[in-house]
Structure 1
Amino acid sequence: MKDLVININNKIEVEWDKKYYKSNIMDVNDKFITINIPMLEGGYLTLSKGDYIEVTYYNSKDIYKFHSKVIGRDIKDNLHEIYIEHPKDVKKVQRRNYVRVFYGHNIKYYILKDKLNSNINLGHGIFEDAIIIDISGGGMKIKTSKELSLGDIIISKLTIDDTELFVKGRVLRSIKDENKQNICGISFIDMDGKTIEKVIQFVFLLMRKQRNAALKEG
């Protein structure tokens, strides 16, 4: 795929024995791609030369899957390096703005009073409770008892892989359900590349968990 550019420091996941190990791009040259040793819950994936792997690659807009082959490994400055071939059979999984998955978890948020202030100031807001109904890389739908108006800017605290992530969003729509709760559509705004990448990874993880659960039930 010609539009796939592998960037240093971008995150990847390596699928092995139906498990997904996290790694990142350390270097790219004409001959191979260097990644660090993949990890899962503190454990290492000890890949060897000749192993074939499936890789999920994240950038700030899209998710890609491709196959590759381990062509070598080394240790430099106490860091394990693994060398893999350039992508084969690249497939774009889904554009971030179109993937929306059910979540159903509690979050905290507050309304940003100064809409012209682009900074997320955590010391100037009273947090309210809400439930995320669904989430995508571009936004989310929440349910809250608090009245939110179109155009309101909110700061939400998400928990992703035991890490707190603060994101800014604009209210695009708001309706009441049968229980007089406010159902609000939120579009993420002013997110840097790293934050977008974390949200995309989180959404993709949810998709995978839900798909695996459906397969087990089936």
Structure 2
Amino acid sequence: MQYLDKLVSGLAVELHVPEGDYEGNYKTHVDEIGKTRLSVYAPHYQGMIIPLQEGTLVEVTFWDDVASYSFMSSVLQRVATPIPMFVLKMPDSIRRVQRRNYVRVSASFPITYQVVEREGLGDLLKGNMLDLSGGGMRFQAKVKLDKGSILYANLELPCGIIGTPGRVCRVEPIEDTKYFSVSVDFYQISERDRDRIIRCVFDIQRDLRKKGLI
């Protein structure tokens, strides 16, 4: 099966439970891989194990250096000891979700930023995000920034605040307003922070699909 070899012990995965009492996203790791099933450690939330029932449908997502992947599965068995685990059905197929040309989604989150100047960082300014991807963002600014300038931005995302340098690649006035649309490529961002942003983008996509907007 294509991409099956990417499922390995220790792989970090995210379980998405689409409905029910424990609807949500939970991070965990793969324990063992078999021919027809795989086991993952039971995820925790606020210090408590998520008690998914046998038969619960889950979407499993994982990442590598070039893309992300997902497949649908279900809980076949719950294991309580010695370590709480879920045994999941091995998927019939694994879908490659995204290449590293990055999916961009509309997003409205507050940001703060400082332009890098010769003397150091400039004044702390506020903006509002307009869209987001793993490669960059576009935000609304009150001041016109120079194309090619470097800034340091703090993104206030649902997964937490992420600070990253960015390079301004496009600046356009927003029609009938006093604001500017500023497009930024993430500049020297850590892969850990980029992965956090990509996961946030996936969560936004899920919500939009659930609402029938995409």
Show the counterpart of 2:19.
17
Q: SS state of the match for residue 211, structure 2?
A: helix
Q: Tell whether 2:187 aligns with 1:185.
A: no
Aligned residue runs from structure 1 range 44-193, under 5 A:
44-49=49-54, 51=55, 53-59=57-63, 60-75=65-80, 79-95=83-99, 97-113=101-117, 126-161=123-158, 163-178=160-175, 179-193=177-191
User: What amino acid sits opposite 2:199 in the alignment?
Assistant: Q
Q: SS state of the match for residue 112, structure 1?
A: strand
Q: SS state of the match for residue 140, structure 1?
A: strand
Q: SS state of the match for residue 84, structure 2?
A: strand
Contact 1:21 1:45 in 2 (8 A): no
Which deviates more from structure 2 when the two are superposed, residues 15-24 or residues 26-35?
26-35
Q: Unaligned 5+ residue runs, structure 2?
A: none
Contact 2:7 2:33 in 1 (8 A): no
Change (3 A) 1:22 1:172: same
Deviation at 1:162, TM superposition (A): 5.7
Identical positions, percent: 24
Q: Unaligned 5+ residue runs, structure 1?
A: 115-122
User: What amino acid sits opposite 1:153 in the alignment?
Assistant: I
- Report the TM-score when normalising by structure 2: 0.77
Q: SS state of the match for residue 207, structure 1?
A: helix
The Cα RMSD (Å) is 3.0
Contact 1:21 1:38 in 2 (8 A): no
Partner deviation per Cα, 1:93-117 (whole Å, 9 max, x = no partner): 3335342211123211112347xxx
- What is the CA–CA distance in structure 2 between the aligned matches of 1:43 and 1:161, rounded to whole Å? 21
User: What amino acid sits opposite 1:209 in the alignment?
Assistant: D
Change (3 A) 1:82 1:213: same
Partner deviation per Cα, 1:182-206 (whole Å, 9 max, x = no partner): 2111112323332122111111111
Deviation at 1:173, TM superposition (A): 1.2
Q: Tell whether 2:5 aligns with 1:2.
A: no
Deviation at 1:125, TM superposition (A): 5.3
Contact 2:13 2:61 in 1 (8 A): yes
Show the counterpart of 1:119.
none
- What is the CA–CA distance in structure 2 between the aligned matches of 1:128 and 1:28, rounded to whole Å? 48
- What is the CA–CA distance in structure 2 between the aligned matches of 1:40 and 1:132, rounded to whole Å? 29
- What is the CA–CA distance in structure 2 between the aligned matches of 1:193 and 1:12, rounded to whole Å? 17
Q: SS state of the match for residue 206, structure 2?
A: helix
Deviation at 1:141, TM superposition (A): 0.7
- Report the TM-score when normalising by structure 1: 0.76
- What is the CA–CA distance in structure 2 between the aligned matches of 1:96 and 1:87, rounded to whole Å? 24
